[in-house]
Amino acid sequence: MNGLDGEMHATPIADTRAAAAAGLRKLRAVGVVGLGYWGPNHIRNLCNLQCADEIFACDLDDRRREHIRKLYPGVAALAEFSKLLDNRAVEAVIVATPVSSHFPMAQAALRAGKSVLVEKPLAMSRAEALELIRLARENRCVLMVGHTFEYSAPVRKIKQLLDSGALGDVFYISSTRANLGLFQRDVNVAWDLATHDISIITMLMGRAPAAVSCQGQSHYRDRTEDVALLTLDFGNSVVAFIHVSWLDPNKIRRTTIVGSRQMLVYDDTAAQEKIRIYDKGVTVHPYYDTYGEFQLSYRYGDIHVPRIEEPEPLKVECEHFIDCVRGGFVPMTDGLSGLRVVSVLEAANESLRNGGLAVPVAFSGGADA
Ligand SMILES: NC(=O)c1ccc[n+]([C@@H]2O[C@H](COP(=O)([O-])OP(=O)(O)OC[C@H]3O[C@@H](n4cnc5c(N)ncnc54)[C@H](O)[C@@H]3O)[C@@H](O)[C@H]2O)c1
């Protein structure tokens, strides 16, 4: 089970939790770098989990450090990342800075022998992601990526339903993630928002798509697309469409999965009943001489809403990271999972610059790294 000894299979959350319950030690210290919009959520979860003797919070911006000091007086705030890395008590670091800094910061942390949870996406290129995987192995550190939705109860329920065959064969998946804002400075909307859908969809499918095409437009900043449409081709007529936008009047986070047996709609903005399973479908009848080539009939069955207990996904993610560091386990969203998503994004970028041409996705699982 110990992924740092060469066995590279991800350890299920239930197993890392069971190991923790059986008595894994507390960490000496853990640090979070980046205290903007998202980083403070990591601080809150780490404080609640009481997983380390000390928690450090790091940001270049005085106001952000002051904000955290006020909220969490027990957390030590510092400006320089290098000081966090120089502290031998710090065993793990969470990187929640802008995407363009993920690679240099994670690289420095791994070189300093710290385990790292990097916010999504893992890096800005396949080459960077591969280097982080290599460094983590070399330094026997845990490398995890913050694909938060893979830790959410609805997404895990959908995975269970798909794996059990309840939906039948997947025909297509369609996902929309739109909102007004938040514009990012260093990446386009695909690298910001579609990262979530790509991680969810590749996790559900259990593989990367063979090819991706992407179209998008920028309306406020040159070459920083604020709206994009991606098509992920999984082969055998299985396709996924992802529409992402920072320029939409409504907040939409909806994924539809159409299977040969049933159809499912996952609405992450719904307060309750996030998943609805529709017993709807199409039946092709055998050939009738008198009735033309073929006949279709449509089935309009019941709608089922599974009951889902939903802990905060980020809490599950943070806890899993800490458990993996404590026990030396390979996380569910490890470096390879990060590489898979970055490989799709890199191909999407190439497609975007070439008028939406289908671009093969260079990812062949463990053989890559
Ligand atoms: N998993 C999720 O659901 C989710 C949600 C939102 C954001 N994110 C990710 O979180 C990361 C941060 O996003 P955000 O919206 O909080 O960004 P942000 O711009 O609001 O905050 C980034 C912070 O990092 C600090 N920073 C930048 N460089 C630094 C350095 N060298 N040393 C110390 N501090 C530095 C900035 O001062 C700023 O306070 C991004 O990677 C984003 O993709 C993930």
| 59 CA from centroid of ligand 1 (Å) | 10
How confident is the model over 315-337, as a mean pLDDT?
A: 97
Give how far Cα 273 sits from Cα of 68, 153, 277, 303, 304, Å: 34, 12, 10, 11, 10
pLDDT of residue 9: 83
**pLDDT tens-digit series, residues 213-236:** 999 999 998 889 999 999 999 999
pLDDT of residue 293: 63
pLDDT of residue 287: 65
pLDDT of residue 4: 39
- Give the ligand 1 atom nearest the CA of 35: 39
pLDDT of residue 296: 86
The DSSP annotation for 65-81 comes to: HHHHHHH-TTSEEES-H
- Whole-number Å distance between alpha carbons of 24 and 325: 10
- Give the ligand 1 atom nearest the CA of 149: 3
Q: Provide the mean pLDDT of the chain.
A: 94
The DSSP annotation for 45-63 comes to: HHHHHT-EEEEEEE-S-HH
Bridge partner list, 95: 33, 118
**pLDDT tens-digit series, residues 52-92:** 999 999 999 999 999 999 999 999 999 999 999 999 999 99
Is pLDDT above 60 for 205?
Answer: yes
CB 176 within 8 Å of CB 328 = no
Give how far the C-alpha of residue 325 lies from the chain's centroid of Cα atoms, to the nearest Å.
Answer: 19
Q: How many CA atoms lie within 13 A of 280 on its CB side?
A: 11
pLDDT of residue 2: 35
Which among 119, 124, 312 is the best mutation to test ligand 1's pocket, defined by most ligand atoms within 8 Å of the CB? 119
Which among 33, 35, 38, 314 is the best mutation to test ligand 1's pocket, defined by most ligand atoms within 8 Å of the CB? 38
Torsion, Cα of 41, 47, 51, 53 (10° steps):
130
**pLDDT band for position 284 (cuts 50, 70, 90):** confident
Is pLDDT above 60 for 247?
Answer: yes
How confident is the model over 170-198, as a mean pLDDT?
A: 96
How confident is the model over 108-113, as a mean pLDDT?
A: 98
CB 264 within 8 Å of CB 188 = no
Is pLDDT above 60 for 7?
Answer: no
The domains of the chain are located at: 3-149+313-333, 153-309+344-368
Domain 3-149+313-333 has CATH 3.40.50.720: yes
R_g (Cα) of the chain, nearest Å = 22
**pLDDT tens-digit series, residues 309-321:** 889 999 999 999 9
pLDDT of residue 367: 77
Is pLDDT above 90 for 290?
Answer: no
How confident is the model over 206-219, as a mean pLDDT?
A: 97
Is pLDDT above 80 for 289?
Answer: no
- Give the ligand 1 atom nearest the CA of 38: 16
Nearest-CA residue for ligand 1 atom 15 is: 37
Is pLDDT above 50 for 6?
Answer: no
Q: Cα 187–365–141 angle (5° rounding)?
A: 75
| Identity at 4, one-letter amino acid code | L
pLDDT of residue 291: 58
- Whole-number Å distance between alpha carbons of 329 and 323: 8
Q: Do domains 3-149+313-333 and 153-309+344-368 have the same CATH topology?
A: no
Number of Cβ within a 10 Å radius of residue 320:
25
Ligand 1 pocket check for 65: Cβ under 6 Å:
no
- How many residues are present in the chain? 369
CATH annotation of 153-309+344-368: 3.30.360.10
Per-residue tokens: 230 = 């991606």
CB 26 within 8 Å of CB 51 = yes
How confident is the model over 118-131, as a mean pLDDT?
A: 98
Three-state DSSP state, 363? coil
How confident is the model over 344-349, as a mean pLDDT?
A: 98
pLDDT of residue 189: 98
How confident is the model over 4-16, as a mean pLDDT?
A: 73
- Whole-number Å distance between alpha carbons of 68 and 41: 11
| 278 CA from centroid of ligand 1 (Å) | 38
Ligand 1 pocket check for 365: Cβ under 6 Å:
no
- Beta-strand pair 275-285/211-217: unpaired
- Whole-number Å distance between alpha carbons of 157 and 149: 12
First to last CA, the chain: 19
Of the chain, the percentage scoring pLDDT greater than 90 comes to 86
Q: Which of 210-219, 233-242, 331-340, 357-366 has the lowest mean pLDDT?
A: 357-366
pLDDT of residue 1: 36
pLDDT of residue 222: 85
What is residue 182's DSSP assignment? Answer: P
Q: Which of 18-27, 44-53, 162-171, 191-200 has the lowest mean pLDDT?
A: 18-27
| 121 CA from centroid of ligand 1 (Å) | 12
Close Cβ partners of 152 (under 8 Å, ≥ 6 residues apart): 268, 310, 313, 316
- Whole-number Å distance between alpha carbons of 170 and 240: 10
